[in-house]
């Protein structure tokens, strides 16, 4: 039987990486603060990947207990991904030091992909609560499908930041999602289904 875990325990676990970032965040300046840019972005991406892997894992494992647990708590992983993305943006904006520098860098490929991904994150996180799901009704699922666009943008942002000659960090982290999404597409559209008797 699938056991329900208190959301407080889930949030405690999801907050562990943030605890290691707190000393740097409290300074809001200096090298220690600047070094938070990469881990905050990477945790945002990893939790996004985990969130998006759950549905194809349900198909692949035929609803294994541990995957059903992940699905039951998927909302927490998605919101935590947004929280780390917000920290990532905060560190970048404060580190930039001026609006002029932010605007000058905004049109670079590695920057606008990140900003676009974060812009998509905002309405997704804002509509994650039960109230928003009820209010949006049939519009909620189409809105959530924008997660795929944000994932592509995050992958491009991450890979281009380290130069296209060395994109392996992004590729390795996104490999499970790429493989599982390919499996989901095959399962949904391409697999050979048994013939039905008339």
pLDDT along the chain (198 residues), means of 10: 72 91 80 85 94 91 89 92 95 88 92 95 85 77 86 92 70 89 82 58
Q: Is residue 5 part of a domain?
A: no
Give the pLDDT of residue 196. 57
The reply to whether 16 falls in a domain is no
Q: How far apart are CA 83 and CA 81, in angstroms?
A: 5
Query: pTM here?
Result: 0.86
Q: What is the pLDDT of residue 48?
A: 95
The per-residue pLDDT for 2 is 55
Give dist(CA 148, CA 76) in Å, integer.
18
- Is 192 part of a structural domain of the chain? no
Helix ranges, the chain (H) = 7-14, 16-27, 30-34, 37-61, 65-72, 74-96, 99-106, 109-126, 130-136, 140-144, 146-161, 168-185
pLDDT at 46: 94
Residue-level pLDDT at 108: 93
- Enclosing domain of residue 31: 21-187
Q: DSSP 3-state assignment of 5?
A: coil
How crowded is residue 26: how many other Cβ atoms within 10 Å of its Cβ? 9
Residue 128 pLDDT? 80
> Would you state the pLDDT for residue 86?
95
Query: What pLDDT sits at residue 89?
Result: 95
Total tally of structural domains belonging to the chain: 1
- Report if residue 182 sits inside a domain: yes
Q: Measured at the alpha carbon of residue 94, what is the angle toward residues 89 and 95, in degrees to the nearest 5?
A: 95
What distance, in Å, lies between the first and last C-alpha atoms of the chain? Answer: 38
Query: What integer pLDDT is reported at residue 193 of this predicted model?
Result: 61
Q: Is 3 within the bounds of a domain?
A: no
């Amino acid at each position: 039987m699938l056991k329900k875990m208190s959301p407080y325990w889930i949030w405690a676990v999801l907050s562990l990486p943030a605890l290691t970032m707190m000393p740097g965040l409290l300074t809001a300046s200096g090298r220690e603060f600047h070094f938070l840019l990469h881990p905050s972005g990477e945790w945002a991406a990893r939790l996004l990947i985990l969130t998006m892997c759950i549905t194809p894992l349900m198909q692949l494992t035929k609803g294994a207990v541990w995957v059903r647990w992940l699905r039951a708590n998927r909302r927490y992983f998605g919101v935590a991904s947004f929280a780390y993305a917000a920290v990532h943006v905060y560190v970048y904006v404060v580190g930039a030091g001026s609006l002029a520098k932010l605007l000058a860098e905004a049109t670079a490929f590695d920057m606008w992909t990140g900003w676009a991904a974060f812009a998509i994150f905002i309405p997704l996180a804002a509509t994650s609560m039960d109230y928003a799901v009820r209010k949006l009704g049939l519009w909620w699922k189409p809105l959530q499908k924008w997660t795929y666009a944000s994932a592509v943008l995050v992958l491009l942002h991450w890979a281009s930041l380290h130069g296209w000659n060395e994109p392996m960090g992004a590729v390795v982290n996104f490999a499970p999602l790429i493989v599982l999404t390919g499996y989901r597409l095959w399962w949904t559209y391409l697999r050979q289904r048994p013939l039905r008797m008339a």
